[in-house]
Amino acid sequence: MENTINWSELSFGYMKTDYNVRCYYRNGRWGELEVSSSETVSIHMSATCLHYGQEAFEGLKAFRGKDGRIRVFRMDENAKRLQSSARGIMMAEFPVEKFEEAVCKAVRLNERFIPPYGSGASLYIRPLLVGMGALIGVRPADEYMFLVFVTPVGPYFKTGFRPAPVCMMRAFDRAAPNGTGTYKVGGNYAASLTAGNKAQENGYVAVLYLDPKEKLYLDECGPANFFAIRNNTYITPASNSILPSITNKSLTQLAADMGLKVERRPVPVSELGTFEEAAECGTAAVITPISRIDDLDENRSYIYSKDGKPGPTCEKLYNKLVAIQTGDEPDPYGWVKIIE
């Protein structure tokens, strides 16, 4: 198999691997981890995940280092975020330790699909939690399934670590002000599909959403958090409808340790013209610098890259984060788990 995959040409898409890991919640408790080679799941037609949106997921990556060792980045944070999502839509919480065990098992079982060091690719890990109980009334299920599958991937955006344009469209919201925006649930992504498709048809990689209540503040970029650089300050929006990105959380720590001031606060649209650099960040995207933001309603553009190159702070943050993830630099934060 290793000889048939062109690692450097991988897209961010699904590729069949050997095994996935599953676990079922029945009679008030989680069972043991099970290994499966099937790509399909048997679900009752009345399962709550199909009718009432009881579904949450995570995304994380495994990397092969120059030393050949396999590293997974901050999976404890993914486990805790999945628990937060489960609480938000009333699903059974999957234990952190069991989450980490399942992820490690899935990575080990599919080790031959981990891209080699230096290929620019990684092994994407997708944990999934769904309501399996058969119900017609709107209430939480009594049975759940947790599943982890993996697939080798290239960059999320075709541009990779190169500046790309995004747009703003006030006719669309990603999440309601007090809804599920802070949880990683499928409904948020379904809500972003129409706007995202319109953006891509017009040459943009993503939509920068504004706050759903007043349309005065920046929210996030749909599949990623937003941040900007100004006057040696890392600025990222705070709101009750933004998914807390683990990548963004890591970058704020790195930025602070590099001597930048960090501000997580409501960011008004009026500040867009004052930023020196802008970017979106997330597990899949890592950091994607923004070349410009086109406000399609106001017929106005904000330019952040005129030469097609990332800004210096984005580049420094990107290089530092990737170096820690791949083991090229020490991990003083304890973020990386080496899978033996």
Give catalytic residue positions. Answer: 184
Bridge partner list, 73: 336
Residue 311 has φ and ψ, to the nearest 5°, of: -70, 160
Ramachandran category for residue 102: left, alpha or beta (phi over 0 → left; psi -120 to 50 → alpha) = alpha
* 3-class state of residue 232 by DSSP: coil
Task: Tell me the CA distances in angstroms from 195 to 20, 202, 208, 258, 325, one per residue in order.
Answer: 32, 11, 10, 36, 32
d(CA 75, CA 198): 33
Taking residue 76's Cβ as centre, other Cβ atoms within 10 Å add up to 16
List 303's β-bridge partners, or say none: 292
- CA-to-CA separations, 181 to 160, 165, 171, 222, in angstroms, rounded: 26, 23, 17, 10
Strands (E), 17-76: 20-26, 29-30, 34-36, 55-57, 60-64, 70-73
Q: Which residues contact 141 (CB under 8 A, 6 or more apart)?
A: 47, 48, 49, 54, 91, 131, 132, 133, 135
